[in-house]
Structure 1
């Protein structure tokens, strides 16, 4: 139980700290805009420096593909269109439950606009209980709980491609959406064998969408990314060349180019973009994208009215003007229909989420099947039993 009386005494310190941080952030933002103006005058030169010294730069800086101060109005959506979305949830494995297994539940949504067609709102559950599902990842030092979340990412992508492949959308404009980034940073430190179990199925799903010419986006609300700001660090670098390993190796405090920390990209575009506008296109330079092949990830920032959202998409969407325009117009329309967040993603989440009652019914069903199979002493651990009750 949380003691609010004891907690109240700490609130004043938090408010004072946040006030100080707000003042410091305003100063950092002013500094960032000064550097932005300088970079806009020499953008091509800095891009060339980045490409020449990318192997020696110790931070991930995105590459601008359009003038860095670009602000473009997004087209209104067509009256007839279709939106696909998936989102996932899970029941994590626990040794204290009646059986050591886990469940992945993928929420699926298809919304047809202006077509007088019924939507699809359902979920696709899958239970994992075999030894190869539970223990294979441990050979790479990956906990089962982590492996479960990686498998969920695969299931979301595969389900999205399956929806699009099996649905007749009558050649109307369409959009496929997932919640979160398409840059799977978590794959970078994994062993090659483990990564090859996760990334190829995801890329195959994206290729299926590409074959259907259905643009695909990852929507990030309240993004904390700073890839675009990191490009400004090339201008802030006090050295002749941005060789981080040579000039700044071993620095324990902030490097001299870290003059914006901890600002995020969204802070910059909050004052540049008007509602309904997008920033210029950027190409991410995350190291894991070397494994993506032709599915490299591009992004832009969009003023959706309530916030600055980061929208990511594969290279084939960015390089096709008609697909990009369709993707951004339908994304913005989804946010407007969802009062600040894409309605398709919100509904996919609602279909996927596993609530406390769902979890209890799942284990009850599992218990019934175990007893029917003749297993004895079926039950949770004594620790779990005591945690679910109280003598106080």
Structure 2
């Protein structure tokens, strides 16, 4: 039980700290805004410098593809369209449960607008219990719980591609001048840049990334646009581009001039300012900023699936929108996708309704977990197993005499 009385003194100190941080944050924001104005007039110069010295720049940064003063009004979406989303949840393996296994549950949502079609709202559960599923990752030094989350990411992408390609495939035979293509958007919650792949050994990575890229390739072939939606984004790739202007050295050669990346590095004048905080001062509701190309090193493994992003004022916040290169290069498809995204945010009162519903379909609640293990227990007893049950520790934790 949490003793709020004992926390009171610490809360007062926390509030004072947050007040000081707010003042310091405002100063960083004003400074970054000035650098942004300077960068608008010298963008080409610093893009060339960034490209020339990219091997010597040690911090994550992005390249602006459009002028930094780009402000685009997002178009109103057509009344007839389809939005698809997936999200995942899991039951983690626990030695104290009746069986050591884990479950992945992928929520699926397909919402048809203006088409008189029933929506799809369900989930696909899968149980993993074989030794190769539970213990194979340990040879790479990866805990089973971590490996489970990585496999869930791949499953979300594959299920999304199956849905998107299926929907587009159903429409193709019916297309004609009187029945044009139905705009379709496939959405996921979070980034399309899987940073966790950097820390994985090559052999482990080969089990996760290729299925994802194959799924994305299928969507590309079907022209079913893919989009990652990031709410409350903590990314700093855009602000880090401004660090090139703040660099006090002749060239941005971090390896030579600033080998120890600490708080005293001259270009860290904005840290820890986020991209979304800066663009909140630049965009009006319904507008997007310039398109950027991410230079994250992990993207070197993405083959031709380079990731682009932009920031959009969706009315309630500044959202980071990520898309593959092929979507960004198709202006009509890109603008259409942004329109569908913004409509989803408005329908969801600040967050895309399709992604929220996919989460609701995927989430495994306490009652679901209890029913899962109850069914498993009955099957184990039916199979003739004895002494089936949770450990004494788990049983004791579930009931208290206090």
Query: Do both proteins adopt the same fold according to a TM-score greater than 0.5, normalized to the shorter chain?
Result: yes
The equivalent residue for 1:11 is 11
- From 362, 365, 376, give the equivalent of 1:355: 365
Aligned pair 1:79/2:79, yes or no?
Answer: yes
Over 3 Å counting, the alpha-carbon distance change for 1:252 and 1:60 in structure 2 is closer
Over 3 Å counting, the alpha-carbon distance change for 1:249 and 1:298 in structure 2 is same
Aligned pair 1:271/2:252, yes or no?
Answer: no
For 2:74 and 2:316, the matched residues in 1 are separated by 16
For 1:251 and 1:101, the matched residues in 2 are separated by 42
CA contact (8 A) 1:334 1:343 kept: yes
Over 3 Å counting, the alpha-carbon distance change for 1:252 and 1:64 in structure 2 is closer
SS of residue paired to 1:106 = strand
The equivalent residue for 2:141 is 141
Post-superposition shift, 1:389?
1.3
For 1:276 and 1:8, the matched residues in 2 are separated by 41
For 1:184 and 1:254, the matched residues in 2 are separated by 29
Superposed CA offset, 1:246-265 (max 9, x none) = 00113543311000011100
Unaligned runs of 5+ in 1: none
The equivalent residue for 2:399 is 389
Superposed CA offset, 1:96-138 (max 9, x none) = 1111100000000000001111100000000000011001111
The equivalent residue for 1:69 is 69
Aligned pair 1:297/2:307, yes or no?
Answer: yes
Aligned pair 1:235/2:245, yes or no?
Answer: yes
Post-superposition shift, 1:166?
2.4
The equivalent residue for 1:25 is 25
The equivalent residue for 2:333 is 323
* Mapping of residues 1-392 of structure 1, within 5 Å: 1-167=1-167, 168-169=170-171, 171-392=181-402
SS of residue paired to 2:356 = helix
Superposed CA offset, 1:334-360 (max 9, x none) = 000100000000000000000000000
For 1:251 and 1:235, the matched residues in 2 are separated by 17
Unaligned runs of 5+ in 2: 175-180
How many residue pairs get matched? 392
For 2:263 and 2:189, the matched residues in 1 are separated by 35
For 2:295 and 2:63, the matched residues in 1 are separated by 7
Over 3 Å counting, the alpha-carbon distance change for 1:248 and 1:231 in structure 2 is same
For 1:306 and 1:390, the matched residues in 2 are separated by 43
Q: Which stretch of the first structure deviates more once superposed, 247-256 or 371-380? A: 247-256
For 1:49 and 1:372, the matched residues in 2 are separated by 69
Post-superposition shift, 1:215?
0.8
The equivalent residue for 2:177 is none
* TM-score of the pair, normalised by structure 1: 0.99
CA contact (8 A) 2:165 2:224 kept: no
Post-superposition shift, 1:220?
0.2
For 1:76 and 1:317, the matched residues in 2 are separated by 18
For 2:68 and 2:223, the matched residues in 1 are separated by 28
For 1:342 and 1:371, the matched residues in 2 are separated by 44
Superposed CA offset, 1:46-95 (max 9, x none) = 01111111000010110000011211101110110000000000000011
The equivalent residue for 2:178 is none
For 1:385 and 1:117, the matched residues in 2 are separated by 47
* TM-score of the pair, normalised by structure 2: 0.96
For 2:324 and 2:375, the matched residues in 1 are separated by 41
CA contact (8 A) 1:215 1:326 kept: no
For 1:391 and 1:173, the matched residues in 2 are separated by 58
